[in-house]
Amino acid sequence: MRSINPKILAMTALLASAAPASLAAQEAAMQPESDVTIQSTALPPLEQLAAGPEVSGMISARKGDQIQVTTADGTPTLIAVTGATDIRASGGFLGLSREKLGADALLNGLPVTIRTRDWNGTLVASQIRLQNRDLKTAAMIRSGTDQRFGEQAAATEALKGRVGDIDQYNVKGTTNVNFDTGKAVLSAQAKAELCAAANQAGSMENALLLVVGYTDATGPEELNQELSEKRASRVVNHLQQACGWKPYRMLTPTGMAEADPLADNMTEEGKAQNRRVAVNILVSKAVDGL
């Protein structure tokens, strides 16, 4: 079985250890506001703005009066939230019950559907819709109070704290899914393989998933880095949204561009193997009994 590059685990450890402080800072800055100033210009009433696109995805970052939503294809979109934004959660019988919420309910990892308005090239949310069950799950992951996985969450945090030391982990399996040149679109086969990997990992106590994106050697390094990150993000979204993998059991995804190739980048066959995302199943040796 191919081992994980220690540099990947070291990078992941740094990202994981930095994430809580960053998230806390972002959430502290995100407060409901009666109005908002964008680019030093007061925002007019939303109904006076041109309609923008509808955006569906998961909240991946928050800062000030903006949230970042990552769509199913891995594309991040910045959207401003104002006091006029209508934020509601649906649930109950037939999903007809709707509860109005404040901007503080917009937690990282929460799936949302957003109607937008366009203000001089900046998207402003006019309406945000989410599901009560998703909000409950996101809140429990944030606070760690859910009795169903309280102990699991604590164990996961302990594992994350030691993820920089590869000797503390067993790699129980690696699934590689491949991509077309320059693309971050999952094939039907790749989607099935990802859910199979999630099912395999789900049967293992305290298993974590480490997702790493790669490219072949074609193209400039900067673009390849961005593409590898987008591929990793796309895989994470599918694992969570379609395969039911819980975010608290997911290590921070990493893009490694053309590093650590599986095959020779001088051939088309080799390049095809290198255009991949690796989903690694990690289990602490302490948990694994080894």
Domain spans of the chain, in order of start: 6-20+149-288, 31-139
pLDDT at 96 over 50: no
Give the CA-trace dihedral at 16, 19, 20, 26, to 10 degrees: -170
Whole-Å CA distances, 175 to 22, 178, 195: 30, 10, 10
Which pLDDT score is estimated for 192? Answer: 96
Whole-Å CA distances, 245 to 9, 112, 154, 238, 251: 20, 18, 17, 9, 12
- Looking at per-residue pLDDT, the higher value among 107 and 152 belongs to 107
Which pLDDT score is estimated for 95? Answer: 37
Which pLDDT score is estimated for 214? Answer: 93
Lowest mean pLDDT among 7-11, 67-71, 128-132: 7-11
In CATH, which superfamily holds the domain spanning 31-139?
A: Nucleic acid-binding proteins (2.40.50.140)
pLDDT at 70 over 50: yes
Q: How confident is the model at residue 14 (pLDDT cuts 50, 70, 90)?
A: very low
Q: How confident is the model at residue 222 (pLDDT cuts 50, 70, 90)?
A: confident
Residues 30-52: pLDDT tens digits? 333 333 344 445 788 898 999 99
Report the sign of the C-alpha dihedral through residues 118, 123, 125, 128, in that order.
positive
Mean pLDDT of 198-224: 91
Which pLDDT score is estimated for 128? Answer: 92
pLDDT at 270 over 90: yes
Q: How confident is the model at residue 79 (pLDDT cuts 50, 70, 90)?
A: very high
CATH topology of domain 6-20+149-288: 60s Ribosomal Protein L30; Chain: A; (3.30.1330)
- The listed range with the strongest mean pLDDT (80-94, 188-202, 237-251, 256-270) is 188-202
Give the CA-trace dihedral at 57, 62, 67, 72, to 10 degrees: -20
Q: How confident is the model at residue 100 (pLDDT cuts 50, 70, 90)?
A: confident
Residues 113-162: pLDDT tens digits? 999 999 988 999 999 988 776 676 666 555 544 433 344 444 444 434 43
- Looking at per-residue pLDDT, the higher value among 4 and 36 belongs to 4
Structure tokens at 272: 């095809």
Please report, rounded to a whole number, the percentage of residues in the chain having pLDDT higher than 90. Answer: 33
Whether the pTM exceeds 0.85: the reply is no
